[in-house]
């Protein structure tokens, strides 16, 4: 009996990775906030942007920076006026999300999230 070689394993791994990436991209797209939305959002800017630039762009969009996250260029913000998300995107935000759609991926496939870890990733303070 002949066993498949390393090429088969690499192709299988690549296929699984591409499938995971497609599902992740779909979840990120579905989790985006509408441009006319206001309230607390998780906003993502380019990771190469300095924190003071991100802070300035949030305030220029009429929002209040609540706290940075551990991911570069990602902040929890709050804006009361309608169209806050649209103004964030006009000031260079890559995306804005009303919740963290990628929380299960951060926890891993089968990880248990305790209350403290869940609280770290929620938008409400």
pLDDT in tens, 38-94: 889 999 999 999 999 999 999 999 999 998 888 899 999 999 999 999 999 999 999
Whether 25 shows a pLDDT value over 50: the answer reads: yes
Global pTM? Answer: 0.64
Mean pLDDT of 91-113: 63
CA distance 17 to 4: 20
Q: Residue 8's beta-bridge partner residues?
A: none
Question: Can you give the residue ranges of every domain in the chain?
Answer: 1-30, 33-120
User: What was the pLDDT predicted at 121?
Assistant: 60
Question: Thinking of the domain 33-120, which architecture would CATH place it in?
Answer: 2-Layer Sandwich (3.30)
Cα separation, 86 vs 68, whole angstroms: 20
Please report, rounded to a whole number, the percentage of residues in the chain having pLDDT higher than 90.
43
Cα–Cα dist 43/24, whole Å: 17
H-run or E-run covering 21: helix 6-30
Contact 83, 41 (CB under 8 A): no
Query: Which region among 21-30, 31-40, 109-118 has the lowest average model confidence (pLDDT)?
Result: 109-118
Mean pLDDT (the chain) is 81
Among the residue ranges 7-11, 27-31, 92-96, the one predicted with the least confidence is: 27-31
Mean pLDDT is lowest, of 18-22, 31-35, 46-50, for 31-35
């Amino acid at each position: 009996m002949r066993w498949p070689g390393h090429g088969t394993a690499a192709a299988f791994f690549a296929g699984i990775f591409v499938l995971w990436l497609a599902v992740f991209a779909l979840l990120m797209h579905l989790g985006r906030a509408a441009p006319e939305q206001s309230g607390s959002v998780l906003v993502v800017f380019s990771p190469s942007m300095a924190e003071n630039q991100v802070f300035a762009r949030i305030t220029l969009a009429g929002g209040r920076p609540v706290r940075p996250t551990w991911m570069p260029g990602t902040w929890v913000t709050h804006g009361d006026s309608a169209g806050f998300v649209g103004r964030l995107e006009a000031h260079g935000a890559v995306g804005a999300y009303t919740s963290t759609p990628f929380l299960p991926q951060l926890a891993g496939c089968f990880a248990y999230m305790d209350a403290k870890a869940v609280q770290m990733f929620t938008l409400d303070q």
